[in-house]
């Protein structure tokens, strides 16, 4: 208990709480803006953490991720413009409610469901991550190679519509991670004589380029559509239309519980992402209610609750593989690795041994962030409702400026901005040609660990028959092969159905 | 969209072959006494990309033959937007190196604002001013570091 007191002190220090509050507010604000999501918000905010303590830095970024995930419901409900794809079901069920004058009710239920989903998932993270990490400590390089290969295949297959494109994106990410001094010989590799890349390409400019700058290029191209959708909605004068009634809670309780379970499960599995969680939860509720298309025609408060609880449960749950094994299961987790690295900390099973106090502090900060989310969202609802109507011509240039600032600080000056632009262009084409930028980033992040474990494996296993001594590695290898086959078949069926449905 | 998949497949195929034939042999050392060549992982990735690009190209060709709609991956407005952002950032880097960080920041913010149709003078002046002062305050005063 005594050793726990300093952790509580540092987590509840006014400075730390202020950064969490700032993070949640900033995240909510960015998430509420149409077209901006949690990836953009977190990537752009990383430079702000350079000079913070590790706990404040991580807590601030987690606050941004949580705030922006919940905030994206605001533009989804009010403008029918989801801040990110995972809020699409919220828009489907919530926008008709807003048009019927029940915007405030939908926003409030979205917020409550978000906070419940987020809190539930955070508790699961606290309970599960350390147990998994203790198991992961016994994993050797051969097993790790199998796990990483399986994770890449899994992520590649599930984060886009095409397994082939997903695998290409992942391999490209690993290939880009090879740039720099080679780990065993120390000789330059794929550097083209540039000393700046001897330490490898800096993660933050790459992430900002792939996530934020590329998104700005697309949004600026679609500015007219965003502007057109910012039409004014009329509020209702009836009190019941502005609050969440007991009847609403009764209708939504089951949807929220299911959303929490689905979102947490989806978050723990690397690569599935928040969109899968929110769509699954929304679909399950739509089916269970028996209302069918009525959900999208008249709107459904339980639909908003289902989508938002699952969407927000994904974020903390996606930290389970990050904290326990060091594998980033989502784009937020990949960005968070950059923040950990800046602070000199390596995520993985040793985190619980070497940085136990930090992890405990992060857990407490995550719970505090959930509570701040409730306060900020509830009392700031009217303010955020106005902010969503700010012209994209004002928002986008600010984001571009912040992107450059971030890339400059973490990428070694103007060189970092150059790296960001190159990966902004790559990200632009990746998004437009449907190559998963999430898989690329995760490949880029796990590339060095994959190479190291692959080298160790090739050193340890000189004969194929020796693999029989590593059943875990064999199992994951087999799962990877099975995953490629199964996901390819599923995607082919989906594609054929889509072609058949084409007019 | 099979047409865009076809283009992507061909581009990636050329990229993969160029990596295998030119870039990796010239940009990686033999490794000397190293147990495993430094070129191993780049080669594995490039072979994978090349093979998958062939599959993507064949798949897209098949769908085009079956008459699936070609589609447009990047509309003209988005091409222009990408170009505008790249030009604005490129010009800002040049100004940053040869003129001053503040001028670069002004161009970086005002350029896209004007491109997106913002003409209200108080916003065109006010937003860059607020951002630059805010960035200066945050980095020079709060965080204690410098830019430029």
Lowest mean pLDDT among A49-63, A404-418, B63-77: B63-77
How much is the average pLDDT of A102-119?
91
d(CA A205, CA B1): 30
Low-confidence winner among A249-258, A272-281, A442-451, B1-10 (lowest mean pLDDT): A272-281
When pLDDT is averaged across residues B107-130 and rounded to a whole number, the result is 91
Over residues A445-473, the pLDDT tens digits come to 888 888 988 888 888 888 878 888 888 88
* Residue A81, pLDDT score: 67
Mean pLDDT of B96-100: 89
- Report whether A59 contacts A23 (CB < 8 A): yes
Range ranked top by mean pLDDT from A12-16, A322-326, A429-433? A429-433
Which of B62, B80, B81, B109 has the highest number of chain A CBs within 10 A, making it the mutation to test binding with A? B81
- What's residue A394's pLDDT? 86
Instruction: Supply A103's token pair.
Output: 């915007």
List A residues 178-237 in contact with B (Cβ-Cβ < 8 A): 178, 182, 184-185, 187-192, 213, 216-218, 220-224
Question: What's the full length of chain A, in residues?
Answer: 503
Confidence of residue A131 (pLDDT cuts 50, 70, 90): confident
Q: How far apart are CA A97 and CA A3, in angstroms?
A: 50
User: Quick check: A160 pLDDT over 90?
Assistant: no
- Residue A498 scores a pLDDT above 70: no
A301 touches A248 (CB < 8 A): yes
Q: Which of residues 364-393 of A touch B (CB under 8 A)?
A: 391-393
Summarize pLDDT for B22-45 with one digit per residue, the tens.
Answer: 999 999 877 666 667 889 999 999
Measured CA to CA, the distance from residue A308 to residue A310 in angstroms comes to: 5
A216, A397, A424: residue with CB nearest B113: A397
Lowest mean pLDDT among A72-76, A481-485, B139-143: B139-143
First to last CA, chain A: 67
- Which is more confidently placed, A158 or A481? A481
CA angle A276, A439, A449 (to 5 degrees): 125
Mean pLDDT of A316-331: 84
Contact A311, A87 (CB under 8 A): yes
Range of the domain at A432: 4-501
Distance CA A29, CA A356 (A): 32
- Please, what is the average pLDDT of chain A? 83
A184 contacts in chain B (CB < 8 Å): 31, 34-36, 38
Residue B108: list chain A partners with CB under 8 A.
397, 400-401, 404
Q: Once rounded to an integer, what is the mean pLDDT over residues A99-117?
A: 89
Residue A249 has phi, psi (to 5 degrees) of -60, -45
B136 and A CB contact within 8 Å: no
Residue predicted with more confidence, B1 or B58? B58
The CA distance from A495 to A503, in Å, is 14
Domains of chain A: total = 1
- Per-residue confidence (pLDDT) for residue B126, from 0 to 100: 94
Q: What is the mean pLDDT of residues A356-378?
A: 90
**What number is the ipTM of this complex?**
0.91
Q: Does residue A494 belong to the interface with chain B, where contact is any CB pair within 8 Å?
A: no
Residue ranges per domain, chain B? 2-65, 76-142
| pLDDT, greater one: A221 or B92 | B92
Angstrom distance (rounded) from CA B39 to CA B52: 20
B42, B89, B118 ranked by CB distance to A421: nearest = B89
pLDDT at position B14 over 80 = yes
Element (H, E) at A449: helix A437-460
Q: Give Cβ neighbours of residue A462 (< 8 Å, ≥ 6 apart).
A: none
Residue A397 vs residue A500, higher pLDDT: A397
Q: A476 falls in which pLDDT band (50, 70, 90)?
A: confident
Q: Which of A219-223, A317-321, A361-365, A433-437 is predicted with the least confidence, judged by mean pLDDT?
A: A219-223
For A165, which of B48, B56, B73 is closest by C-beta distance? Answer: B56
pLDDT greater at residue A225 or residue A110: A110
- Tell me which of A439 and A180 has the higher pLDDT: A180
pLDDT at A380: 86
pLDDT band at B127 (very low <50, low <70, confident <90, very high): very high
Query: Is the confidence at residue A502, as pLDDT, over 70?
Result: no
Q: B98 contacts in A (CB within 8 Å)?
A: none
């Amino acid at each position: 208990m005594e050793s726990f007191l300093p952790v509580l002190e540092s987590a509840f220090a006014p400075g730390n709480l202020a950064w969490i509050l700032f993070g949640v507010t900033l995240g909510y604000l960015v998430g509420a803006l149409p077209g901006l999501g949690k990836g953009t918000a977190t990537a752009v905010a990383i430079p702000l953490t350079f000079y913070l303590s590790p706990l404040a830095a991580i807590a601030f970024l987690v606050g941004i991720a949580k705030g922006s995930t919940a905030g994206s419901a605001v533009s989804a409900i009010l403008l029918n413009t989801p801040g990110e794809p995972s809020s699409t079901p919220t828009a489907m069920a919530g926008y008709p409610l807003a048009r019927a004058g029940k915007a405030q009710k939908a926003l409030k239920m979205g917020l409550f469901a978000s906070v419940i989903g987020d809190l539930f998932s955070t508790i699961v993270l606290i309970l599960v991550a350390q147990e998994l990490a203790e198991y992961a400590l016994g994993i050797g390089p051969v097993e790790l190679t199998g796990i990483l290969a399986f994770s890449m295949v899994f992520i590649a297959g599930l984060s886009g519509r095409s397994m082939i494109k997903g695998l290409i994106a992942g391999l490209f990410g690993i290939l880009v991670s090879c740039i720099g001094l080679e780990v065993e010989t120390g000789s330059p590799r794929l550097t083209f004589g540039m000393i700046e890349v001897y330490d490898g390409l800096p993660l933050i400019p790459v992430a900002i380029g792939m996530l934020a700058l590329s998104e700005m290029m697309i949004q600026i191209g679609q500015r007219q559509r965003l502007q057109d959708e910012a039409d004014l909605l009329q509020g209702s004068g009836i009190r019941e239309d502005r609050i969440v009634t007991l009847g609403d809670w009764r209708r939504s309780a089951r949807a929220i519980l299911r959303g929490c379970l689905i979102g947490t499960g989806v978050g723990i599995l690397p690569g599935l992402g928040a969109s899968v969680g929110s769509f699954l939860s929304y679909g399950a509720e739509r089916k269970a209610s028996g209302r069918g298309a009525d959900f999208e025609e008249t709107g459904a408060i339980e639909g908003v609750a289902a989508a938002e609880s699952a969407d927000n449960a994904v974020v903390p749950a996606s930290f389970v593989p990050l904290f326990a094994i060091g594998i980033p299961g989502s784009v937020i987790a990949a960005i968070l690795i950059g923040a950990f690295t800046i602070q000199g900390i390596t995520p993985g099973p040793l985190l619980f041994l070497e940085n136990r106090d930090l992890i405990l502090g992060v857990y407490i900060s995550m719970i505090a962030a959930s509570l701040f989310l409730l306060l900020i969202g509830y009392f700031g609802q009217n303010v955020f409702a106005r902010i969503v109507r700010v012209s994209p011509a004002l928002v986008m240039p600010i984001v571009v400026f912040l992107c450059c600032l971030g890339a400059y600080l973490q990428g070694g000056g103007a060189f970092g901005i150059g790296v960001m632009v190159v990966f902004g262009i790559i990200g632009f084409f990746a998004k437009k040609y449907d190559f998963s930028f999430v898989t690329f980033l995760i490949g880029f992040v796990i590339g060095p660990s994959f190479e190291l474990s692959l080298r160790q494996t090739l050193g340890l296993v000189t004969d194929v028959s020796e693999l029989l001594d590593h059943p875990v590695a064999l199992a994951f290898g087999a799962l990877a092969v099975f995953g490629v086959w199964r996901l390819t078949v599923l995607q082919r069926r989906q594609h054929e159905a889509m072609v058949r449905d084409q007019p | 969209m099979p047409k865009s998949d076809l283009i992507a497949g061909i581009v990636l195929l050329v990229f993969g072959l160029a990596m295998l034939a030119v870039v990796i042999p010239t940009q990686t050392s033999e490794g000397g006494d190293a147990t495993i060549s430094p070129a191993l992982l780049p080669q594995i990735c490039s072979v994978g990309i090349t093979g998958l690009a062939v599959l993507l190209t064949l798949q897209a060709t098949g769908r085009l033959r079956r008459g699936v709609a070609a589609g447009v991956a990047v509309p003209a407005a988005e091409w222009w937007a990408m170009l505008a952002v790249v030009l604005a950032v490129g010009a800002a880097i040049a100004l940053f190196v040869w003129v001053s960080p503040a001028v670069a920041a002004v161009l970086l913010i005002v350029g896209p604002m004007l491109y997106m149709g913002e003409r209200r003078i108080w916003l065109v002046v006010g937003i860059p001013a607020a951002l630059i002062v805010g960035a200066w305050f945050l980095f020079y005063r709060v965080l204690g570091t410098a830019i430029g």
